[in-house]
């Protein structure tokens, strides 16, 4: 289980998909954004635009920027869907 600050679990959205090689449309977008900017300056709007997905799709899988960042780093640079 991946924990957020304060011990709350982050959105674990089918972690088995990451190990099976499946990735979400957010993967490349998150990698691009988190390598472009430090966490504080990274933008959910940029991730959404780069992924070419509706804003609601992002929030269906992730609670916030910290959520996708934790999953992204935990899975060696691959988020899950």
57 phi/psi in degrees, rounded to 5: -65, -40
CA distance 64 to 10: 9
pLDDT one-digit tens code per residue, 12-21: 543 334 444 5
pLDDT value of residue 50: 95
Assess whether pLDDT exceeds 60 at residue 80. no
pLDDT one-digit tens code per residue, 22-75: 577 888 899 899 999 999 999 999 999 999 999 998 998 899 999 999 888 876
What's the whole-model pTM score? 0.69
């Amino acid at each position: 289980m991946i924990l957020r600050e304060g011990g709350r679990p982050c959105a674990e959205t089918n972690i088995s998909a990451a190990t099976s090689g499946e990735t979400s449309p957010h993967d490349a977008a998150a990698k691009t954004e988190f390598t472009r900017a430090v966490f504080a300056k990274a933008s959910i709007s940029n991730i959404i635009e780069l992924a070419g997905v509706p804003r609601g799709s992002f929030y269906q899988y992730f609670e916030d920027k910290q959520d996708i960042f934790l999953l992204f780093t935990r899975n060696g640079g691959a988020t899950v869907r």
